[in-house]
């Protein structure tokens, strides 16, 4: 009865506001969500001209607002369309253009802002059809940040999307809901064969048995090597992270399809040589004991991707006993003693990630790698002029970097398609890149950024 009473009150309030043409009162209170039903009903009661006047006033109020209030008002305006049986075409077009600023959300920052509105936004989230990967993933994030059964129903509509960004976002939402319910509604139907399924608890491992199509796993924590992992003979990718109980890697040798392996913070591993019996094409070793030798790595004839982040007992890349032709190489901060001398051994190297100023300077003084299309620099001062020699670059990722000079020289990297900037140590001005129509800029992890307003919205994303 209270619900009926409140609804009737809202109806009377909306009717009175329209009859008195007191739209100012409605607009003044539009920031208060207890007035939203009244406003929507008023839109339905109003005549066509009055309806246009009210919607335009609401849009003006939203334009002047910021943060959650702005998102709340955009959602309110979008919801009003359902209550407008007749509307001037130009007003409808104006409302649709206006609400497209946030709906569908274009990136994760917009998704989080939209989610602050709460459950009302769920009614306005789009179906998957026609969304690009970022819009689809951001719609999923909005839903799982709101949470609840209705949100899970929305997310389940995306479960057959095979795009990597979307699948990874579906996986990331697992812990936001009851694990078993999410497994049934989403992951049991998702394309898990090419993306890593993140697991941290015994409850995750219990659900893993119900996901036989999961062939890549990221297992975090002191689980040793669980039977469910050792017995998954179809496993192709495995990350073992923060596993202090793992000592012997021999049981991995039964996984005869395992081609992608990462060990991180597994500090009690005694010997890496059992890995020589695996068909590894990608290997990542991070924060493991310094004494662990890489002498066995020459037996990995198919190895094409290597990442090191530990004090491996070699001094330069020329000492690395690989027989394969690497296409991707990553040297992080804890492998900072390894010189880039010898990088020319791999003429087909396409991706390089390096950390620290010393290694960045080495790269600038060595012959350019002709096939390099992707470069990540981390924890260094960026000197754009020195990057121009890598004229085949399509992706440039700058992480935890500082910027003392303008990015303007990057205009001359004609092949560059994507610039990623994250966790910047100093302000970075993006405005010199505003007119590069072919360039998409992605900003992640916070950090001071200026000039973003000069970049067309379709060319910049905040992740």
Is 200 exposed, middle or buried, given 0-12, 13-18 or 19+ CB atoms closer than 10 A?
Answer: middle
The set of residues, in sequence order, having a beta carbon less than 8 Å from that of 423 and lying 6+ positions away, is 399, 400, 444, 445, 446, 447
User: Which range among 54-68, 342-356, 427-441 shows the weakest confidence by mean pLDDT?
Assistant: 54-68
pLDDT at 275: 96
Report how far residue 51's alpha carbon sits from residue 124's, in angstroms, rounded to the nearest whole number. 20
Report how far residue 126's alpha carbon sits from residue 385's, in angstroms, rounded to the nearest whole number. 44
pLDDT tens column, 312-343:
999 999 999 987 789 999 999 999 899 999 99
pLDDT at 4: 45
Report how far residue 402's alpha carbon sits from residue 383's, in angstroms, rounded to the nearest whole number. 9
Q: Give domain limits for the chain.
A: 2-99
- Mean per-residue pLDDT for 274-295? 95
- Mean per-residue pLDDT for 119-148? 91
Report how far residue 441's alpha carbon sits from residue 432's, in angstroms, rounded to the nearest whole number. 12
pLDDT tens column, 364-407:
888 888 899 999 999 999 999 999 999 999 999 999 999 989 99
- Show the tokens assigned to 159: 């479960």
pLDDT at 3: 44
Average pLDDT, the chain: 89
pLDDT tens column, 171-190:
999 999 999 999 999 999 99
Please, what's the largest Cα pairwise distance for the chain? 85
pLDDT tens column, 214-269:
999 999 999 999 999 999 999 999 999 999 999 999 999 999 999 999 999 999 99
| 6 phi, psi to nearest 5 deg | -65, -45
Instruction: For the chain, give the percent of residues with pLDDT over 70.
Output: 94
């Amino acid at each position: 009865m209270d619900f009926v009473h409140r609804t009737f009150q809202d109806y009377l309030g909306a009717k009175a506001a329209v009859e008195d043409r007191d739209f100012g009162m409605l607009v003044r209170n539009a920031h208060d969500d207890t007035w939203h039903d009244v406003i929507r009903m008023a839109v339905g009661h109003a005549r066509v001209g009055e309806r246009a006047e009210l919607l335009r006033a609401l849009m003006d109020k939203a334009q002047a607002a910021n943060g959650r209030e702005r998102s709340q008002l955009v959602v309110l305006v979008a919801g009003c369309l359902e209550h407008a049986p007749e509307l001037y075409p130009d007003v409808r077009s104006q409302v649709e253009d206006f609400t497209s600023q946030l709906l569908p959300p274009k990136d994760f920052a917009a998704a989080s802002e939209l989610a602050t509105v709460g459950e009302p936004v769920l009614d306005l989230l789009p179906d998957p059809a026609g969304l690009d990967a970022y819009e689809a993933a951001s719609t999923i994030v909005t839903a799982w940040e709101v949470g609840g059964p209705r949100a899970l129903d929305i997310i389940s509509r995306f479960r057959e999307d095979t795009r990597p960004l979307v699948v990874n976002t579906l996986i990331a939402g697992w812990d936001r809901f009851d694990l078993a319910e999410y497994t049934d509604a989403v992951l049991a139907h998702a394309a898990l064969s090419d993306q890593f399924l993140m697991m941290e608890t015994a409850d995750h491992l219990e659900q893993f048995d119900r996901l036989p199509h999961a062939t890549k796993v990221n297992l975090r924590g002191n689980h040793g090597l669980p039977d469910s992992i050792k017995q998954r003979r179809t496993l192709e990718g495995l990350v073992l992270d923060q596993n202090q109980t793992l000592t012997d890697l021999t049981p991995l040798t039964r996984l005869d399809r395992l081609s992608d392996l990462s060990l991180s913070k597994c500090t009690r591993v005694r010997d890496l040589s059992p890995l020589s019996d695996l068909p590894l094409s990608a290997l990542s070793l991070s924060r493991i004991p310094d004494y662990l030798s890489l002498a066995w790595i020459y037996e990995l004839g198919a190895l094409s991707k290597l990442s090191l982040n530990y004090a491996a007992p070699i001094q330069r890349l020329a000492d690395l006993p690989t027989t394969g032709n690497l296409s991707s190489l990553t040297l992080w901060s804890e492998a900072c003693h390894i010189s880039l001398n010898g990088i020319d051994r791999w003429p087909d190297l396409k991706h390089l990630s390096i950390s620290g100023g010393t290694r960045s300077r080495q790269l600038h003084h060595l012959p350019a790698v002709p096939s390099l299309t992707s470069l990540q620099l981390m924890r260094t001062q960026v000197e754009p002029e020195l990057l121009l020699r890598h004229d085949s670059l399509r992706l440039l990722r700058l992480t935890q970097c500082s910027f003392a000079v303008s990015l303007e020289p990057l205009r001359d990297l004609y092949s560059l398609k994507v610039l990623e900037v994250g966790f910047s140590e100093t302000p970075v001005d993006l405005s010199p890149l505003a007119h590069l129509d072919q360039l998409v800029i992605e900003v992640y992890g916070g950090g001071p950024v200026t000039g973003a307003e000069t970049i067309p919205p379709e060319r910049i994303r905040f992740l």
